[in-house]
Homo-oligomer: A and B are copies of this chain.
Amino acid sequence: MGAVHPLLTDTTPLPEGLDARLRDQLTFVIEVDRLKTILRQSPLAAADRRENDAEHSWHLALMVVLLAEHSDEPIDVGHTVKLVLVHDLVEIYAGDTPLYDAEAAHTQQAREEAAADRLFGLLPPDQAREVRALWDEFEARSTPEARFAKAMDRLQPLLLNWMARGGTWKSPGVTADTVRSRKAVIGDASTALWEAGRTLIDEGERRGWSRPSLS
């Protein structure tokens, strides 16, 4: 997880006189401001820069609310939103692992586990366990809510790549088939959204926005 940073509140400590539990909660709330500085590979549709994890997480949360009807299984929308709100928090200390970077993926789990221990440990113990459980659920994809959250996490950059007429589809070594195989988990949550996703990938390949599949 790289160098150990001081907490943001180490530079400007919260004042005396706060309730101890609330102080821990606010320390965490301030520390996660760092999510706004973690850059992803995806280009924004609305501006000429890359997206950060906080923007991405907000986008996924709104997508859950608007697209939940397309889940093949019934899902609890509020719970699914919680999963996407916290799903990238560990990147605050572990960094973003690009979807098409196999090398970084190799060390990803260990880096993210250490980051989770450190970051969630700032919270009161009951909430540290709650947030950790949300993150574990998202990662394990063993519930309909986690599968739908993961589908949003794969569909949103697909939309941004479409708008960028390629975006990270043009990463070294990536073909349209690579994209198809990395995005197929959308179909574990929603037949309709995966059909739409495939339409975008297929049409993108046809237009030369991704490298043609080797066939």
Contact surface of A with B, Cβ cutoff 8 Å: 8-9, 11-12, 14-15, 17-19, 22, 25-26, 28-30, 32-37, 44-47, 51-52, 54-55, 57-59, 61-63, 65-67, 70, 76-79, 81-82, 85-86, 123, 127, 156, 159-160, 162-163, 165, 192-193, 196, 199-200, 203
Most buried by B among A12, A45, A160: A45
A-B contacts, 28 of them at CB < 8 A, read A8-B163, A11-B163, A12-B162, A12-B165, A14-B200, A15-B199, A18-B196, A18-B199, A19-B192, A22-B193, A26-B159, A28-B66, A29-B59, A29-B62, A29-B67, A29-B159, A32-B59, A34-B46, A36-B44, A54-B55, A54-B58, A61-B85, A65-B85, A66-B123, A76-B78, A77-B78, A81-B81, A81-B82
